[in-house]
Structures are given as structure tokens and as C-alpha cells.
Structure 1
């Protein structure tokens, strides 16, 4: 019989539409402004005592708290007013100190029964909902110093190999390193060796207190290159860390000479993001100093979270975390303690093998280096009024996490033990895997980002979409009557399915994406217009009404398919080669084309079949 679907097809359509409504439903629940607190390190425990301190600090300032949740090592404070986020963040930070990371957040309000089936709200881009903005400043001077330290260590090794005796002297005011020799011939030979093996260094022969001295450092051009490399390396590392966090459509770009801007839309755990992005975790491998080593050539380090006495290590650095190519955390099969398995790159493996091969039986230490925030609140008088000002600074901590005897020559693979917990091992592996920072970074600025297009423009954009949709609905009813009403039902369901698919796949809706939705609505209406015009034409040609309906849908299919498939290909190309707003437009366009083809061809026809199929119609109002 014409224009009738079997029962299973109707049931399948109902299931698809029902799932669409369920997965689009979370978008009706707006997010709460919130402040999130987590430990500065993964070993820091969040408990009810911390929760009480936070609640007391906020209550004393009359902050309107909606709820407080303690879950999975993180404390989430939901607020009733978005304009109290910054104030709450400052109060909590002042109350807890530097052992905790405090960040602003947008907390979901989706019911648990929806999240249990994977139904989450659609992510909104910065231009619609705003997000979190970080400005990170790279300590480029530290990068130059570290680079010179490594070169200094390699130069010492080369001089010892050539049996050139030297004495280390204090650094010059410009940061250049100095070495004194017993005679001019030794000094000149050392200068030639440094110039040959280290072409990036500027070598100068001088005399200090009548002793021959060779000094070396980087020229202004080389310093610029090192600084530029440090910023680019940190930029790459930050991008990798953002990818590890799973943030969709983030903005990570360089700003000025040593700044990096990070904007994260739709991030739920902003405290974790801040902790991971700003973590300067690096490693150094050094040999334990010999008993008769001079104090000038050694440096003393304490053990991390251990009562063991401090240990004296050689100043020469074997390798750093920059040579780590991959890192994975697991547990030692014998002791059950957390560890990190590390693979080095070819250069790092060669240097490690040479250092350990010649020092079997000696102890080698693994030094963990991190920048810890130090917050100081000072009271200043401005125009006779006392104002509290928060000063943020950082303190570098270097501590030994492992000291083990070298049993045999090491190569590209080895493991690090001595970590406090599996969480710390996982975090260290993540940071090393994402890439080591070439220089420390500091949070120079953190703030919420309002919609970049402005609330008024966004409101106008939404209103124009709604007005356009209403005009389309009226047009379809006026021109095509009952068939137009059925098309409007399918068009509304098309919007629901579009939102459901974008929510289900974690796509991000941006302002250009709304333009893609508007274009999708136009294409969906265009498909219905083609079908209904074809039905009218078949009726004018004398076809029976049921045959005209059947042929109208069948013969319009080819035109609809061709038009939509070419637009889909264009959308795929835009997504592949575009960035930012272009990607947002392409995502909604491609998804909208697929949903509009389903609603225009399958859903509209099923509605027509239910209302008109199988009936002996003498006249059709279309």
C-alpha cells in the first residue's frame, strides 16, 4: 500500500526522536557560578576541615553560597551570583594559603540520571558563555641561565678529558661564567676547545688578579634565540597539556616577547587546569659528590618529604627532563611503591650511558624541581583608605626524590622511585610526557572572560534566529497548510536532534555555529519546499493523490541528496583547513545537514504517512 511504513520503522523513528529529546534535555539546565579548590600537589588531601575553613571565610564576608560539595579530592563551592566569583576566590585563597589552588569555575546542574547515561549540556565557546583566561609569563632569564648551566657542565667534562686543570670563579655581573688556569697556554687551549665545540658561546680571554681566565657566555643574539626557543617550547608544552586535559576549542597563543595566553571555554575543573598548566615540574640527574670534592664543585640538597640527612651532589648536571621522550606511571612489582618509567631521546640516552658507565658503584640522585606559589597580603593606604593587596610570587624548590647506587650502565630506559603516591607519579608522568617546560612560567593574570561579542550582540543574534524561525513556521503554514504544519513539526525536531548530537559528541557551539544552525534551518525548509512543489506538480499532471505524494517524495530525493552532499563536503573541508570560528561554523553545518536530511526525508514522510497514508483522498490541501 502506498504511503505506509511498516510498524518497525515507525518505532525506530520514535526511538531516535526520543533519544534526541533526552540528550538535548541537559541544555535546559544552566551552569552555576562556582569556585573550585584543589591541592597544590596531588598528595594534598581535601577534607571536611578544609571545607569548614572555606565556608567560614565566605560566610564572614556575606557571600551568598548555594552549596558546597567535597568530591574526588576537590572542593566545589556553588554561588548564587556570578559577580561574587572573584571576591570568593580571593577570600578562599587568603584563608587557605599557598598549599591549595583556587580557581573560578562554571558548575553543571544537570541531574544525575542524565549524566549517568552520558547526557551532558552542549559546550559553549568563549564568544557565547565566556570562560577562563590565563596570562602566563615565561621566565626567559631562567631559561638562559639553565642553558648556560648545562653548557658549563659539558665544558667541565671536556676540559677534564683534555686534562686541563682549572678553577671555577664567581659569575660575572652579566652572567658569563669564568674559569681560571695556571698558565696562558692552558687558558688559550681551553678557549679554542670551547670555541670549537660550543659555537653558540662567546669566548673571551682575560686576566683576573694576574691569573689567566677564560670567560664564556651568550651574545645578545644568542640570548634572544634561547629566549625565543623557551617561549616556543613552553607554548608547545602548554598546548600538549591542554590536550591532556581534553579541552575543546581552547585558545593558546603567544603574546608579546614572553607571554602566553590560554583561554579555556567550558572547562569544569579549572583548578586542575590551573595546577597542571602552571606546574613547572622538571628533573635533574646528578652524581653524588666524592668525599674529597671541593665545596665550589658541590651543592647540597635535602630530601623531599623525608627525614634523611641532606646530600652533597656534584654541580655538573648529567641530563634534565628535556631529554625525556615518554613517561608512564605504574607500580614496582616487588615493593608495590609508585614509580615512573622513563624513556630518553637518543642524545639523553648517550649522555646517561656515558655518565653511568664510568661511575658504576657511585650514587646518582634524581632532583625534582618545581615552582611553588607564594602569596603575601599587604595593607596599603590609598587616599587615606586602607586597602588589602595580594602580591603573588614564586619560590623554586629543589629536592632529591631518589638516590640510588649505579649497578650498571644505564641507557635510554630506566625508572624513578621515591614518589609519595600514585597520584604524584601519574602527574609527574603526565607533565614529562606532555613536554618539559624550557623555563618556569608564572600566572600573571587570571580572570573570567565575558562573551567577546558582548551580551547585547549575542542577545540580538539569538533573537534574529528565533524571529527567522517563527517567520519560517508561519510561511510554511500559510503556503502549504497541513503539509506546512507537518514540516514545522519536523523542523522543530530537527533543532532538538542537532542539539542532541552536538551535546553527545562534545561539540562546541560558537557564534559562527549559530550562523550554521540558521543555514541548516534554511536548507531543511528548502528540502520540504522541493518535496511539496513536486507533489503539487504531480497532482497537476493528473496523478492520483496517493501516487502524487509517493512520487513527490521519491523524485525530490535525488535533488535533496545532491544539494546536501555537496554542502556537506564543503563543511568537511572548512573543518579540516579552518581554525577557530570557521571550525565552529563547519561543525554545526555538517551535523545540521545530517539531521535535516533525516527530518526532511524520513520524519516528514512518516508524519505524512500517518495523517494521509492509506486514505481515499479526493482533494489535497497543499
Structure 2
């Protein structure tokens, strides 16, 4: 019997020693200040990563960070999936989007109802040989929605993983929402760009110079016809106020007079009119590029979206559209606008590698800027080779999220499948763009509908208040147990301390995240661990009152209390599984510590205290138990 007790004691000591070993990286990491962590990251990044991977992570509410809810744009997805579109379709889609925002109803169900009210059916817009009934179309749309959200979650997970956030929480909420929790994030705007960017990369050919010039001339003629000649109609140079040298600046910029085909008189169509003089100019050296003064950008956007301009584009080329440049040009004075094919020659799905680097290595004009060099897989390289070989001397636009980053002229056939995106303002921007390109484009746009940021100071306050709550609760329990159960109570307190050590060690081993609700779970576990000892001690008291020996009372006490303790802990553990499976971030944190605590408390309350009792009884002949 004594030999068995000794083996159990050795096992407990071994588990305790292992727990301290597992907790050592956590203690070591907690000793570093933020500056020391940054220095260690620069000197030995792998060492810091290894240390973090073996430590207990602090959750969003304890170390600060971001909580974001993203919504996948189902409206845009349904618009992309439609094989046919008309005014009734667009009206029903817009109406549905407005209704769903207010009611949070099922998008597809409401969309179907709105189409039926207008005398149309889903099959008209989505039908095919495989989708020959309304039910099949609805099932298809639901399946596509589910796959899109799942794919978006997968891509966002890849982006966040590459960004380097430890223990991110990314999970779906409802049918089209994704919750992201990123602990320790200090730059919310950068994260916002990282997770919100669709990252749809396309290569499209610019329309031929003749088509672009014809469209520009017709737009210019339309604008001039709309401008009211009520005021004076004289040349800008004649009426230019003293000190206003804008016209001179433009001439200096272009190196020649502005083309007459796009130069309107200095009359205005009214303060609120979208038609104004000198709304745009053709680039003197490249008439496939329109230059829009930065102050007239918004009005020109409205102008391009108007039915009259769209009709002009359709007359000249049915497969063309205007795309804006991603950055302002010419010292921030203009935005470039390009007339490009609607059809993509190649997309970013074939990207294999993407690396950020400083500009100027291949192009002296990009010195001081940053760029992303990327390579395509075999399929992409083959297509890229064919496209560049068949369109030498034509311009190919590199478009990311419907913005042109560059539109170089194809000089030679590019066989190696390599290209680049230039003009980025910082290395961080280049790094983030590399991440999203490698992770892939989102299958549909996403928007941030809720965002909460917890500062590091608030997180530290939570740690202090949570730690104080746990400490005060533990002190009260310790005092109560010693007063009520005397030496046996002190034994229960020792088991309680071991219980907390075991919980934290298990969390460190699994690199789990400790949250504020997790601290609440530990506090609850303290009560549950003591509750098990209370049941045992009360049973021992009952046996002692019957006149049984100390050893017999202890045997009977543990035996009689075991079933009640097991039942209570098993049912609570099942509740913890349910909370962890279906709960969100904070609930998961609570459930995790609760389940670990239940297992640890069963071990300390039943095994540890029993071994101590057996050891004491075997060592000394005790006639009276302090309980």
C-alpha cells in the first residue's frame, strides 16, 4: 500500500515539474518589455516566434487588438452569377439589398419575392440546362452563397496567418458574415486594408488609340453642348486673374498646348452641374490616357456613369469601360483614366509568388517608391506569353480591385510569366499587397459592418482587474476552508493551487489564448474544485460521527462522494463542449478554461488529496482527523 502511495506521489510531483517546465516560456516572455520584444524580433525572430508558440497567449480583451465583423456582398455575388440582366432584375436586386439591411432577412428569399412581385422569376436570369426549375435555381444560389462565404473565410485566414497575428479567431456568423478577432494588433488601418481588399487582379488591354480618341471627342462635344454660354466665353488666358498660373502650369506639364479636341471654353453649367469646362485633357504623348484634374474627379465620375456617356462608349465599342488609375499623377494634380476592354486577358488566380521590394531596381523613375514583383504558374505564364506575343506595341493595364496600377506598352513577348505592380508608397503597403496576392482574391467583395478596437492600456486594466478578482476570490476560499475544515482545508487549498498551475500549463502546451471570460472560467473552476473537496470532507465527517476509524472514514468518504462529483463534472463538461462548439470568441475562451479546469480539479480533488491522506496515514498512526 505504501509503495503504491509513493508511486502516486512521484507521479504527482512529475506532473507538477512538467507543468512548471511548460509554464517557463510564459514566465520568460512576460518578463520582456515591448521594446525588448521588438529588439529580440529584429535580432532573432525565430527565437521570439518559438517562445510565443510555447506560451499562453493573451486574448483581444487582455492585450488589446481588433474585433471585426465582415459581411460578404451577396448582392454583388448574385449580380455576377446572373446570366441575363435587365432593369427589373437590377431594381429587384437594389430593393432587396435595402430591405435586408433593415430586416436582416434571408437575401435570396427576399430577392425571389421581389422578382415574383415584378412578374419575373429567378429561372429567367439564372436558368440553364442543369437549372430547369425554380427550386433548382434557389438551391444553386444558396450553394454558391455558402461556398463563397467559406472561400472568403479561407482566404482571410491565409491573409491573417501571413500577417503574423498569433491565435487569430476567424469564424462564420449566420449565412454571410465572418467574425475576425486579432489580438495584439497595433495598426487598425493596416489590418482594415489587409482584410477588406478584394485583391482581384486582372490584365486587360487598353482600347486602340483611335477608339479612345473618338470616345474622348464625343464626351468633349457633349460637355460643351451642356455648358451654358450665359456668362462670358473667352479664353482662359484673357480672363485669368493675376497670380493664377494654372494654365501655364498645365502647359509646362505637357510641354505643349492642350489639345483643342478636349479644351472647353471657360463657362460653367452652374454650381451643381456635372458639366464643366476643362473637365479632362488627353495626355499629349499618349492619347489613350485621359487626365482629370484632381478637384474635378468626383464630378467626372458622375459624368462617366451617366446614361449619355455610357451610350457614347457603347456606340464606339460595346466591350469597353473606363477604369481609374490607383494613384494621382503629376505631383498630385491629375488622376489618369483609361479606356480598357471589359474582358480580362488573365486574372490573379494564376499567381504563384509575390514579393515586395524597393522601386528603382528595374525602372529609375520608380526610385523612392515600392513595388510587388510576382510570377505566374505554368498555365498563367503560357497565357501571358500568348497575350503579350499577340499584342506587341499595345498597352496592357495591370488592374487591382478595379484600379489601374500601371499600363505599360508591350515591347516583347514575355515568356517567363513575370510582372510587377509599381507606385506603392511604403514597404508595408507592398508587403500587405504581396500577402493578399499570394492568398488570392476574395470571391466577392466584403465590407466591415462592425469594428471594435481595444487599446493596450485597457487590456492591461482588464488583466489587473481580472487577476485581482481571481486573487481575492481565492483568498476568501482559502480562509473559509481553513476555518471550516482546519488542516484538511489547508490540504484542499494546496490542491487548489496545483489546480491553477495545471490549468495554465495545459493552456501553454496547446498554445491556447487566455481571455477575460477565460479568467472567469478559472475563477469558476476554483469554486468547483473546492466543491469537490467539500463533498468528500462532509462524507468523511459523517463516517467519523458513526464511530469509524480515520482510515475507514477516508476510504468511505472518497468512495461515497465520487459518483456525485463525477456526475456534476461530466454534465458541466458537456455544457462546456456545447459552449465551445457553438459560441463565439469570448464564449470559447470561457468554455476552454472551464473544461481544462474540470479535468484538473477532478485530478487534484480526488487523486492529489487522497494521496496526501494515504501518505500521512501510512507514515503516522493518526487517531483523530483535523476536519
Query: In 1, distance between residues paired with 2:458 and 2:400?
Result: 35
Q: Do 2:57 and 2:167's aligned partners in 1 also have CA atoms closer than 8 Å?
A: no
Query: In 2, distance between residues paired with 1:584 and 1:13?
Result: 27
Q: For residues 449-598 of structure 1, what are the structure 2 equivalents within 5 Å? A: 449=455, 455=461, 462-598=467-603
Q: Do 2:64 and 2:455's aligned partners in 1 also have CA atoms closer than 8 Å?
A: yes
2:124 aligned residue: none
Deviation at 1:22, TM superposition (A): 3.8
Query: In 1, distance between residues paired with 2:499 and 2:585?
Result: 25
1:316 aligned residue: 341
1:418 aligned residue: 419
| Stretch moving more, 289-298 or 498-507 | 289-298
Q: Deviations over 1:28-86 (max 9, x none)?
A: 8658886xxxxxxxxxxxxxxxxxxxxxxxxxxxxxx88963856999xxxxxxxxxxx
Residues 1:201 and 1:520: Cα distance change in structure 2 (over 3 Å)? same
User: Gaps spanning 5+ residues in structure 1: where?
Assistant: 35-64, 76-110, 152-195, 204-217, 305-311, 332-336, 345-351, 372-394, 409-414
Residues 1:521 and 1:290: Cα distance change in structure 2 (over 3 Å)? same
Does the residue aligned with 1:315 lie in a helix, a strand or coil?
A: strand
Query: In 2, distance between residues paired with 1:510 and 1:562?
Result: 28
Residues 1:341 and 1:551: Cα distance change in structure 2 (over 3 Å)? farther
Aligned counterpart for 1:264 among listed residues 157, 164, 182: 182
* Bigger strand fraction: 1
Query: In 2, distance between residues paired with 1:453 and 1:15?
Result: 35
1:436 aligned residue: 442
Q: Deviations over 1:216-270 (max 9, x none)?
A: xx6696498499899x98986657744665554659999xxxx999763234897
Q: Do 2:162 and 2:435's aligned partners in 1 also have CA atoms closer than 8 Å?
A: no
Q: Do 1:281 and 1:428's aligned partners in 2 also have CA atoms closer than 8 Å?
A: no
Does the residue aligned with 1:418 lie in a helix, a strand or coil?
A: strand
Does the residue aligned with 2:587 lie in a helix, a strand or coil?
A: helix
Query: In 2, distance between residues paired with 1:117 and 1:131?
Result: 17
Q: Do 2:573 and 2:595's aligned partners in 1 also have CA atoms closer than 8 Å?
A: yes
User: Gaps spanning 5+ residues in structure 2: where?
Assistant: 102-106, 108-144, 216-286, 290-323, 328-336, 356-372, 423-427
Q: Deviations over 1:171-228 (max 9, x none)?
A: xxxxxxxxxxxxxxxxxxxxxxxxx96424589xxxxxxxxxxxxxx66964984998
Does the residue aligned with 1:69 lie in a helix, a strand or coil?
A: helix
Deviation at 1:125, TM superposition (A): 3.2
Query: In 2, distance between residues paired with 1:281 and 1:452?
Result: 34
- Which has the higher Rg, Structure 1 or Structure 2? 2
Deviation at 1:514, TM superposition (A): 2.8
Could you state the TM-score of these two structures normalised by the residue count of structure 2? 0.52
Q: Deviations over 1:357-392 (max 9, x none)?
A: 999955798754458xxxxxxxxxxxxxxxxxxxxx
Does the residue aligned with 1:588 lie in a helix, a strand or coil?
A: helix
Q: For residues 8-27 of structure 1, what are the structure 2 equivalents within 5 Å? A: 9-25=8-24, 26=26
Deviation at 1:567, TM superposition (A): 0.6
Q: Do 1:490 and 1:604's aligned partners in 2 also have CA atoms closer than 8 Å?
A: yes
- 1:130 aligned onto 2:61: no
Deviation at 1:494, TM superposition (A): 1.0
Deviation at 1:113, TM superposition (A): 9.3
- 1:339 aligned onto 2:339: no
Query: In 1, distance between residues paired with 2:409 and 2:13?
Result: 62
Aligned residues: 436
State the superposition RMSD in angstroms: 6.0
- 1:608 aligned onto 2:613: yes
Deviation at 1:542, TM superposition (A): 4.5
Query: In 1, distance between residues paired with 2:547 and 2:483?
Result: 24
Query: In 2, distance between residues paired with 1:11 and 1:5?
Result: 9
1:164 aligned residue: none
Q: Do 2:352 and 2:438's aligned partners in 1 also have CA atoms closer than 8 Å?
A: no
Does the residue aligned with 1:436 lie in a helix, a strand or coil?
A: coil
Residues 1:610 and 1:400: Cα distance change in structure 2 (over 3 Å)? farther
Q: Deviations over 1:510-531 (max 9, x none)?
A: 3333332222111101111122
2:307 aligned residue: none
Q: Do 1:282 and 1:368's aligned partners in 2 also have CA atoms closer than 8 Å?
A: no
Residues 1:448 and 1:320: Cα distance change in structure 2 (over 3 Å)? farther
Residues 1:445 and 1:568: Cα distance change in structure 2 (over 3 Å)? closer
Query: In 1, distance between residues paired with 2:583 and 2:47?
Result: 36
Q: Deviations over 1:504-559 (max 9, x none)?
A: 33433333333322221111011111222233333344444334334433443332
Query: In 2, distance between residues paired with 1:479 and 1:10?
Result: 26
Query: In 2, distance between residues paired with 1:510 and 1:122?
Result: 9
Q: Do 1:10 and 1:606's aligned partners in 2 also have CA atoms closer than 8 Å?
A: yes
Residues 1:499 and 1:260: Cα distance change in structure 2 (over 3 Å)? closer
Deviation at 1:449, TM superposition (A): 3.2
Query: In 2, distance between residues paired with 1:121 and 1:561?
Result: 28
Could you state the TM-score of these two structures normalised by the residue count of structure 1? 0.53
Aligned counterpart for 1:69 among listed residues 14, 36, 39: 39
* Bigger helix fraction: 2
Q: Deviations over 1:570-619 (max 9, x none)?
A: 11111212224332322221121111112112222233334333433222
Does the residue aligned with 1:339 lie in a helix, a strand or coil?
A: strand
- 1:283 aligned onto 2:205: no
Query: In 1, distance between residues paired with 2:345 and 2:68?
Result: 27
Q: Do 1:2 and 1:547's aligned partners in 2 also have CA atoms closer than 8 Å?
A: no
Q: For residues 56-455 of structure 1, what are the structure 2 equivalents within 5 Å? A: 69=39, 71=41, 115-116=50-51, 118-126=53-61, 128-132=62-66, 198-201=84-87, 222=94, 225=97, 241-242=159-160, 248=167, 264-267=182-185, 273=191, 276-277=194-195, 279=197, 281-287=199-205, 295=213, 299=288, 315-319=340-344, 328-329=352-353, 339-341=375-377, 361=390, 367-370=397-400, 397-399=404-406, 417-418=418-419, 428=434, 430-431=436-437, 433=439, 435-436=441-442, 449=455, 455=461
Deviation at 1:564, TM superposition (A): 0.6
Residues 1:565 and 1:133: Cα distance change in structure 2 (over 3 Å)? closer
Q: Do 1:133 and 1:446's aligned partners in 2 also have CA atoms closer than 8 Å?
A: yes
Query: In 1, distance between residues paired with 2:512 and 2:580?
Result: 12
Residues 1:487 and 1:396: Cα distance change in structure 2 (over 3 Å)? same
Does the residue aligned with 1:19 lie in a helix, a strand or coil?
A: helix
